[in-house]
Structure 1
């Protein structure tokens, strides 16, 4: 039976392909969200799907410091192959929001070092790094809360979220909301914190989408849970 071979390509070939996909209209939209590229993500994913898993190529693409190349890298790497120190360095090199999001969700969450990095990053003075720690904390609140100090997390959110930079504030708000959604014993306090701080209360929310404002988000998701 014939086997399908992973295409062997160079970094320059991938960069050329991504450059050819650059669309000024897509860039204009992305730049409004802080992302410095103009490649349609569906087309970028198609490139990665064709390349399949190639960890060494992923590392080379990451080293280019180009956002589209880094996004492809995160899709074709082996998450468990990164040592802790490399993941820590990568999060500190990441400033484009989409790269940051994909690095945390597609790579770090699958790493055996996720918990150690969560603890380290949450306490980091760099708010972008700290936001990654809080994103991992939200994941634990939802999926494996045993051992987490939920009242202590609410203490930190209550004291620091209001004045946190945007990305860190968003991640802390997610943790607050998931505590309220998943843990009934802390729901009343989570709602009270959200109502008092009013973080994201006026965030523009499209029709048929749930507001990220914690009291609305918590109540909506709890209602859905009760309806099923």
Structure 2
């Protein structure tokens, strides 16, 4: 029965394949051609099905793995299972959804954050940094923010793209959420110039940390006065 269900879902995903969507996605390193809105509609219909999610993940198909992450039970995964899944998740969108939709909601998130943070694999380390950024915002107690800034200052400039992006996000969030560290965060961003020339669409905030920090702090200030 389970195999039949997987075959049916895979056939449905194949029907949703759009060459134009695949072309756009592949520019971002994502090897699938399924519109994410349509993928979410499939997930909504299937509802939560943990075993089907595991079976879809096992196909190693990107669209199937994205669907799996939408229909799984995040708290049902064991720590080692998530560690294996992250190391298998080489596609950026799968990696991002796994961390944000599943790991962050799992009871082993903090243990995994600590294990992944300094992993020699930059893709794994980037997940550790993403979880650290989550803690900076939601539960900073016990974090050495000055120490994090030390690491960012010494390593972000030459870090691989995905890891650099995650470290930069952490830098910005420290500056946004912690006035006592804001001047140093801004200074690090200005000196390293990471993502300074990143193309930004009109109406969107630049990922360049000083611009990002100042813009969000300005908005928060304006909201407080409103």
What TM-score, normalized to structure 2? 0.97
Question: Post-superposition shift, 1:159?
Answer: 0.5
Query: Helix, strand or coil: the match of 2:120?
Result: coil
Query: Helix, strand or coil: the match of 1:10?
Result: helix
Does residue 52 of structure 2 align to residue 49 of structure 1? no
Q: 1:125 aligns with which of 99, 120, 125?
A: 120
Q: Distance in 2 between matches of 1:13 and 1:95?
A: 25
Query: Helix, strand or coil: the match of 2:167?
Result: helix
Question: Post-superposition shift, 1:12?
Answer: 0.6
Corresponding position of 1:179:
174
Unaligned 5+ residue runs, structure 1?
A: 1-7
Q: Give the 5 Å matches for 1:1-228.
A: 10-228=5-223
Q: How many residues align?
A: 221
Question: Post-superposition shift, 1:166?
Answer: 0.3
Question: Post-superposition shift, 1:90?
Answer: 0.3
Question: Post-superposition shift, 1:9?
Answer: 6.4
Could you list the per-position Cα deviations for residues 69-112 of structure 1 after superposition, in whole angstroms to 9, with x for gaps in the alignment? 00000000000000000000000000110000000000000000
Q: Distance in 2 between matches of 1:174 and 1:137?
A: 10
Query: Helix, strand or coil: the match of 1:56?
Result: helix
Query: Helix, strand or coil: the match of 2:123?
Result: helix
Distance 1:204 1:56, change over 3 A: same
Q: Distance in 2 between matches of 1:9 and 1:131?
A: 36
Q: Aligned-pair RMSD on alpha carbons?
A: 0.9
Q: Distance in 2 between matches of 1:227 and 1:198?
A: 27
Query: Helix, strand or coil: the match of 2:149?
Result: helix
What TM-score, normalized to structure 1? 0.96
